[in-house]
Amino acid sequence: MADIDIHEKTLKVYEDKMDKSLEVLKSDLRTVRAGRANPHVLDPITVPYYGVPTPLSQIANIQVPEAKMLMITPWDTNMLKEIERAIQASDLGINPMNDGRCLRLVFPAMTEERRLELTREVSKKGEEAKVSIRNIRREANDHFKALLKDKEISEDVSFSLSDEVQTLTDRFTEKIDKEIELKTKEIMEI
């Protein structure tokens, strides 16, 4: 019975690590600009607010009034110029329109070349996530071998744990593939 508890707790630790890797990938993919305006593309942008780099979403309201436009309304209108500078300095590639109260970002239609470039970027992020998952699998297997060597678990339990970690690895790899496929489809959508 003790073996089963250790078994489940040990697997849960590695499953949680794999889940975190998947969440990081999802977060990264939200910042990739697809065909529609997405407020998450502004997540990496920080603005100096009283000398402290602050995420844009914490100093302004970000809305999507149209499919190809973001509207940024700062809570303190004195921050408009700072926000505008931060957006221009970012790699977003869009010049904001300032009307004195808010900033508008109009997303132009992407060229086929840019879409293909983004799909390659997305695929690369997916591969990085898969490498992370495989590293967690290797870490788990090393841990099981150490437990076996110290005679804390039997050889059968070690093999069983390794099989289950491989099953987890396969499951998370499939999830990563689905995320990449969805994002690629979204990017290629005209």
pLDDT at 167: 94
Tens of pLDDT along the chain (190 residues) come to 345 566 677 789 999 999 999 999 998 888 776 666 778 888 888 898 888 899 988 999 998 888 788 899 999 888 899 899 888 888 777 888 888 889 998 887 778 888 888 899 999 999 999 999 999 999 999 998 998 888 888 888 888 889 999 999 999 999 999 999 998 988 887 6
**Residues 187, 120: Cα–Cα separation, whole Å:** 11
pLDDT at 2: 47
**Residues 25, 30: Cα–Cα separation, whole Å:** 9
* C-beta of residue 96 within 8 angstroms of C-beta of residue 89: no
Boundaries of CATH 1.10.132.20 in the chain?
2-31+111-188
Give 2-31+111-188's CATH code, choosing from 3.40.50.1260, 3.30.450.40, 1.10.132.20, 3.40.50.300: 1.10.132.20
Those residues with Cβ within 8 angstroms of residue 55's Cβ, 6 or more apart along the chain or in another chain: 43, 45, 46, 47
Burial class (CB in 10 A: 0-12, 13-18, 19+), 186: middle
| Positive or negative torsion for Cα 138, 139, 144, 146 | positive
Please give the model's pTM, rounded to 2 decimal places: 0.73
| Three-state SS at 186 | helix
pLDDT at 1: 39
Boundaries of CATH 3.30.1360.40 in the chain?
39-106
CA 183 to chain centre: 11
In the CATH scheme, what is the code of domain 39-106?
A: 3.30.1360.40
